[in-house]
């Protein structure tokens, strides 16, 4: 028997679908917030390190974004992600 998804999980999945299909472009700081909240919400804290200087710089920004939310719970990260989607992506 599959566990029932919580309302928060369903709202998070809906927000993720909305964010991943939008054609809107956001400033880098907003994209980093999306990235960090999503990674924390999904417990996917792995950051792939690339070889080029540009990718190392991007990786450093991503690590900094993750560092800033290190104390945030998985559930709070989902809520923050949903808030970002609702703030920046309107129907």
Examine the pLDDT at 55 and tell me if it is beyond 90: no
Other Cβ atoms less than 10 A from the Cβ of 33: the count is 19
Q: Is the pTM of this model over 0.85?
A: no
Question: From CA 36, how far away is CA 72, in angstroms rounded?
Answer: 10
Query: What digits encode the pLDDT tens for the residues 36-52?
Result: 999 999 986 555 555 56
Alpha-helical runs (H) found in the chain: 7-21, 28-41, 53-68, 74-88
pLDDT, position 45: 56
**Ordered domains of the chain (ranges, CATH):** 7-88 (1.20.80.10)
Indicate the pLDDT class of residue 80, thresholds 50, 70 and 90.
Answer: very high
């Amino acid at each position: 028997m599959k566990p029932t998804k919580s309302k928060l999980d369903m709202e998070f999945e809906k927000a993720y679908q909305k964010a991943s299909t939008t054609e809107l472009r956001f400033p880098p700081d907003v994209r980093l917030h999306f990235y960090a909240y999503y990674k924390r919400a999904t417990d996917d804290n792995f950051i792939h390190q690339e070889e080029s200087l540009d990718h190392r710089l991007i990786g450093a920004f991503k690590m900094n974004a993750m560092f800033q939310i290190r104390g945030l719970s998985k559930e709070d990260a989902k809520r923050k992600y949903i808030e970002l989607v609702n703030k920046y992506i309107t129907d």
